[in-house]
Structure 1
Amino acid sequence: MPSNVTWAKILQESIDKYPKEKTASIASVASLNPLKLNNRCVIPRKIYYPKTSSQPVLISTTDARASKTSHFLNVSPATSLVWWFPTPNTQFRLNGTCRIVQAGEKDSEWEDVRVGLWKEMSPFMRGTFGRKPEGGPGSHMDSYEQGKDWPTKLGAEPEEEDNSKERDLIAYARDNFALLVIEPTLVDFAELGVIPNQRTVYTLNEKSDEWDSEIQCP
C-alpha cells in the first residue's frame, strides 16, 4: 500500500472490523448523465491495488447486460459511491470514475481478478448472472412465471457429471459477470460516532499523485 493512502487503510479496517454487519455490506453508487442521476445499491467486494497503478481502487460486481454497465461505458464514467457503517456511525463517500471489466478483458491482471471474484461468489449469486431473457436486468418480461426457469444456483466451473446444458449455462453466466472498478479522486470520511463529530476529506493531487487531506466541519 502506498504510504499516504490513509483513507484506504481506514476503510479496510472498517471492512475487517465489522464483517458481520449486514447493513454495512451494501453501498450506494450513482451515475451521471445530462438528464438525470441514477442511484443503485451495490455490494463492494474488495479494495484492490493494481500492479499498473499507484492508487487503490474499490471493486464491486455487476451484470454486463445491466443499464449501469452500458452507462459507464458509453455515457459517462463519473460516479459517486456512499458507504455507511452503522455500528461506528461512519460514512465514506468516494467520488471518481468507474471502469467496467467484462469477459474477454485483454489485460490479464484484470481478467484474473474477474475470474477470481466469480469463484468467490455464492452459488446463488452466480445463478443470478444466468437469468434470461437475453436483455438481462431491466429487460421486458411477459410475466413473473418466466422466473421459474431461472437457475437457482450455479457452480464456478462445470463438474464432470454436468450435462451440456449446465455447462453452457455456467459459461453464459460467467460471461455476464463483470466488475465495477471505482477509481476515487476524492474520499470524504465522516465520523459521527464520536463527540465532537469529525470529518476528513482526502483529495488526489494529480500532479504529485499523492493524497492531500483536509479537516472539515461535519
Structure 2
Amino acid sequence: MSGVSEQPFLDDLALSLEEAWRLLVSGSKDRKSPLHTPSVATVQNNGSPSQRIMVLREAAREDRILRFNTDVRASKVVDIGDGGPVSILGYHPEAKVQLRLSGLGRIEHNSSAGDAAWNEATLYGKRCYLADPAPGSPVRAPTSGLDPAVEGRKPEGFEVAPARENFAILLIEIDKIEWLYLAHTGHRRALFTWNMDNSKWDGQWLVP
C-alpha cells in the first residue's frame, strides 16, 4: 500500500520534530547533504532582507543551536549586531523535506567557541579569511581578494594564522521550526515553537 502513512513520522508531531533535527545534524556533518548549505537570511538596518548560502557547521539539538562560520567584517555581522533575527531555509529532495527555521543570532569572535571552530577549519577554509579588502568591498576588477602568494594552492599554517583576526562564528538559537514534507500522495506541514516557560517544543499541524 502506498501513501504518506508509510512514513511513521508523517502522522506524528514528535517524530516529525525528530526527523527535522536528524536531517539538520546529518546536514552539518555530511558535505553531500543538501542541508549542508542552507540559505541564511538577516534583516538590514533599512529593514530589507538579505540572504546568502552558508555552510552549516554544527547542529546541537539540546541547545537548539545552529553554527556557521563567518568573516567578522561581513555585512551579516552588522545586521545581527548584539542579537538579531535570523531565518534559515533548506530543502532535502531525497527526504522530501523543507525546513524553515528562525531564531536569534549572535556573533562570537574572540571566544573559546570561536577558537575551537577555527582549530576545526581546514587550511583552505582558513585561507578565505585572508581576503583583503573585506568581503563585499567594491573593486575595479574581478578578484578573490587573496594575495597571489596563497591563491591557487594549499597554504601553510603560519600563512593563514593572521586570518584568525577576521574569523568569527554565527550562532543561532532556534525558537521556531516549520517542517514541510512534499509528496504527490499528500503533503504534511507542522510548526514547532519553543516554549520558554516549559522548556519544550510545542507542535501544531498546519495545512500544507
Q: TM-score range by the shorter chain?
A: 0.7 to 0.9
Candidates 22, 30, 51, aligned match of 1:19: 30
Indicate the residue corresponding to 1:41 in structure 2. 53
Candidates 140, 143, 157, aligned match of 1:142: 140
Give the superposed CA RMSD: 2.8
**Residue by residue, what CA displacement relative to the aligned partner does 1:163-183 show, whole Å, maximum 9, x if unpaired?**
xxx3xxx23211211111111
Where 2:81 maps in the other structure, the secondary structure is helix
Change (3 A) 1:24 1:140: same
**Residue by residue, what CA displacement relative to the aligned partner does 1:180-217 show, whole Å, maximum 9, x if unpaired?**
11111110011114732111211011222211001111
Change (3 A) 1:5 1:130: farther
* 2:193 aligned with 1:182: no
Indicate the residue corresponding to 1:66 in structure 2. 74
Change (3 A) 1:154 1:22: farther
Where 1:175 maps in the other structure, the secondary structure is helix
* 2:122 aligned with 1:122: yes
Structure 2 runs not aligned, ≥5 long: 1-12
Using the alignment, how far apart are the partners of 1:35 and 1:175 within structure 2? Answer: 29
Using the alignment, how far apart are the partners of 1:204 and 1:138 within structure 2? Answer: 35
Change (3 A) 1:68 1:147: closer
Do the aligned partners of 1:8 and 1:47 also contact (CA within 8 Å) in 2? no
**Residue by residue, what CA displacement relative to the aligned partner does 1:113-164 show, whole Å, maximum 9, x if unpaired?**
322222332322211101112xx10113233367462534445x54xxxxxx
Indicate the residue corresponding to 1:97 in structure 2. 104
Using the alignment, how far apart are the partners of 1:16 and 1:97 within structure 2? Answer: 22
Using the alignment, how far apart are the partners of 1:145 and 1:184 within structure 2? Answer: 35
Indicate the residue corresponding to 2:204 in structure 1. 214
Do the aligned partners of 1:58 and 1:183 also contact (CA within 8 Å) in 2? yes
Using the alignment, how far apart are the partners of 2:130 and 2:169 within structure 1? Answer: 16
Residue identity opposite 1:43 in structure 2:
V
Residue identity opposite 1:39 in structure 2:
Q
Do the aligned partners of 1:61 and 1:179 also contact (CA within 8 Å) in 2? yes
Where 1:127 maps in the other structure, the secondary structure is helix
Candidates 55, 70, 86, aligned match of 2:63: 55
Do the aligned partners of 2:131 and 2:146 also contact (CA within 8 Å) in 1? no
Residue identity opposite 2:174 in structure 1:
P
Using the alignment, how far apart are the partners of 2:67 and 2:78 within structure 1? Answer: 17
Indicate the residue corresponding to 1:108 in structure 2. none
Indicate the residue corresponding to 1:132 in structure 2. 132
Where 1:144 maps in the other structure, the secondary structure is coil
Using the alignment, how far apart are the partners of 1:140 and 1:42 within structure 2? Answer: 21
Using the alignment, how far apart are the partners of 1:11 and 1:124 within structure 2? Answer: 30
